[in-house]
Amino acid sequence: MEMTRREMIRQSGKFLLLTSAAATALEYVLAGKAEASPNYDITKHWWAMIIDVDKCIGCGNCVRACATENDVPEGFFRTWIERYHVEGWDSAHPEVDSPNGGFDGFADDHKSGKNFFIPKICNHCADSPCTQVCPVGATFTTPDGVVLVDEKYCLGCRYCIQACPYGCRFLNPKKNTADKCTLCYHRITQGLTTACCEACPTQARVLADLKNPKDPIHEFLRTNDVQVLKPHMATGAKVFYKNLDGAVR
Amino acid sequence: MKDLLRNAEHLVRVVVLLALGATAFLVIRHAVVPRDFGKYGHFRPGSMDDVRSRPIKFAGHETCEACHSDQAEAKSKGKHANVACEACHGALAKHAEDPSAVTPKLPDTAVLCVRCHEANSAKPKNFPQVVSAEHSAGMPCNTCHKPHSPRIESEK
The chain-wide mean pLDDT, for chain A, equals 89
- The four Cα atoms A183, A46, B94, B115 give a dihedral, to 10 degrees, of 50
Query: Quick one: which of A161, A151, A152, A101 has its CA closest to A131?
Result: A161
Three-state SS string over B23-60 comes to HHHHHHHHHHCCCCCCCCCCCCCHHHHHHHCCCCCCCC
CA distance A37 to A195: 19
Percent of chain B predicted with pLDDT > 90: 81
How open is the CA angle B130-A108-A248, to the nearest 5 degrees?
100
First-residue to last-residue Cα distance in chain B: 113
Query: Quick one: which of A167, A168, A113 has its CA closest to A146?
Result: A168
Is any Cβ of chain B less than 8 angstroms from the Cβ of A72? no
Rounded to an integer, the average pLDDT of A106-121 is 95
Is any Cβ of chain B less than 8 angstroms from the Cβ of A162? no
pLDDT at position A73? 96
How open is the CA angle B116-A186-A208, to the nearest 5 degrees?
60
First-residue to last-residue Cα distance in chain A: 64
Domains present along chain A, CATH in parentheses: 1-32 (no CATH), 39-249 (3.30.70.20)
pLDDT at position A10? 62
pLDDT at residue A31 above 90? Answer: no
CA distance A67 to A185: 15
Query: Quick one: which of A119, A51, A151, A191 has its CA closest to B44?
Result: A151
Is any Cβ of chain A less than 8 angstroms from the Cβ of B122? yes
Per-residue confidence at A126, pLDDT binned at 50, 70, 90?
A: very high
Contact residues, chain B, for A31 at CB < 8 Å: 34-36
Q: pTM for this one?
A: 0.85
Per-residue confidence at A35, pLDDT binned at 50, 70, 90?
A: very low
* Per-domain boundaries in chain B: 2-52, 55-105, 106-156
* Record: contact A55-B26, CB cut-off 8 A: no
* Record: contact B47-A151, CB cut-off 8 A: yes
CA distances to A190, A194, A197 from A38, rounded to whole Å, are: 10, 20, 24
- With the C-alpha atoms ordered B51, A71, A97, A160, is the resulting torsion angle positive or negative? negative
- What's chain A's length in residues? 249
pLDDT at residue A32 above 70? Answer: no
**A189-212 per-position pLDDT tens digit:** 999 999 999 999 999 999 999 999
Percent of chain A predicted with pLDDT > 90: 84
Contact B120, B129 (CB under 8 A): yes
Going by the DSSP 8-state scheme, the letter that residue B102 receives in this structure is: -
Contact residues, chain A, for B127 at CB < 8 Å: 57, 202
> In angstroms, how far is CA B89 from the centroid of its own chain?
17
Tens-level pLDDT at each residue, chain B (156 residues):
667 677 788 889 999 999 999 999 999 999 999 999 999 999 999 999 999 999 999 999 999 999 999 999 999 999 999 999 999 999 999 999 999 999 999 999 988 999 999 999 999 999 999 999 999 887 899 999 999 999 887 655
